[in-house]
Structure 1
């Protein structure tokens, strides 16, 4: 089990090269690591878990938008969601999802993936891109909205919780 954990951790680090720690809403890096591991295990198929045990890789990609602070990010998120704004982060996230089918996408739970899902859901081609996609959200911000979108567009998601 320890070997599996080390393999998983090393694969995660390799897959997320250049990814900065999601510290915007969760301050403790060890908690972030635990949440990421737990969420990834929830989203992996049984075949991926077997592949991971056999030393193969599972692709996980982190996406983090630039932060302007917790309060301003939340306000910006609410305004963007209500206005259905499309910005460069949404376009970048949509391309990332399209170019990496089968990957697990990890978010610090900014509204970028939610706006990206809504953007892609506007037409048949976009819906086919997110159909079956997998998203791991580190925090619980917008959890109900993600649940609604998952039912509408048929993608998997995880909002892992720390066991206390």
Structure 2
């Protein structure tokens, strides 16, 4: 009985910690993009973090960030600018999961409940390095598979399609 109670307490703590880490990293990312504390984007990020926390996606978002950061470190490439399902998310832009030329042109924020229903979300990389990225993800312990011939990386609630952009 005590073991089960301690396990639930640890899981709750891990979720809370993931949410706070996500919030901190998103605010840090906004600062790196030149947005000062307290501006509209910081408020949007706080609201979006609350939605993500409610849907229990904070750990997935941090894991996706880890994947994108690892790819950037190893291959020196980032997701294709202005493409993918995350380009309307201030958090994804702040974390580097998505890129847009000017954050002020982000448009209407996406609805996370629709995103979780969609389940398969796309991140685009250049055609030349997409297969290497998938091989790297497999070698580094990410749960990979294919869906309709397209490689995906599976997280607990979201699946990310690693798609290619053609020049």
User: TM-score by structure 1 length?
Assistant: 0.32
More strand by share: 2
Select the structure with the greater relative contact order (CA < 8 A; seq sep ≥ 6).
1
User: TM-score by structure 2 length?
Assistant: 0.32
